[in-house]
Amino acid sequence: MYAPEHPNRTKRGYVAEHRLVTSAHLGRSLLPGEVVHHKDGNRYNNAITNLQFFSANSEHLKDELTGRVPAWTAEGWGRILAGDRRSASRHRKARDGSERSQTNLPTIATDEPKAREAS
């Protein structure tokens, strides 16, 4: 909604309607990190009964993701059960086909610094 005087407006003067509705219900402006969630998933249903307020996105994610199971592929599920841990270099090779080798890495000097002579 166009609200050019609202403290949380965008550069063009707009504020999301669900944030305005929640702000009016709470009687204060929302802080930038506070989240307003549409319970029914319909972002156009801005009735206060459909809006849920979270003081942080972490709370919102916890509520949204609790009890959900990712849709693992059979291959991915098999790797998890087998305990297959891929290293970053294996992921890189698989992703871009690079053939990086450990032998091409520069060597690091391991000489201990010389002890100071007693003066």
CA distance 26 to 17: 14
What pLDDT, on a 0 to 100 scale, did the predictor assign at position 83? Answer: 76
Residues in the chain, overall count: 119
Cut 0.85: pTM above it: no
- Kindly state whether residue 107 falls inside one of the protein's structural domains: no
- Count of domains observed in the chain: 1
- Kindly state whether residue 6 falls inside one of the protein's structural domains: yes
- Kindly state whether residue 48 falls inside one of the protein's structural domains: yes
- Kindly state whether residue 101 falls inside one of the protein's structural domains: no
CA distance 116 to 22: 69
What pLDDT, on a 0 to 100 scale, did the predictor assign at position 8? Answer: 84
CA distance 116 to 102: 36
Domain of 1, in residue numbers = 1-94
What pLDDT, on a 0 to 100 scale, did the predictor assign at position 84? Answer: 62
* Residues of the chain under the 70 pLDDT cut: 84-119
What pLDDT, on a 0 to 100 scale, did the predictor assign at position 101? Answer: 47
Cα 30 versus chain centre, distance:
21
DSSP letters, 44-84, are T---GGGEEEESSHHHHHHHHHTT------HHHHHHHHHT-
CA distance 10 to 101: 49
- Kindly state whether residue 103 falls inside one of the protein's structural domains: no
Decide if 30 contacts 24 (C-beta within 8 A): no
Reading the block at residue 59, the tokens are 């709370």
The 10s digit of each residue's pLDDT in 6-23 is 888 889 999 999 999 999
- Kindly state whether residue 85 falls inside one of the protein's structural domains: yes
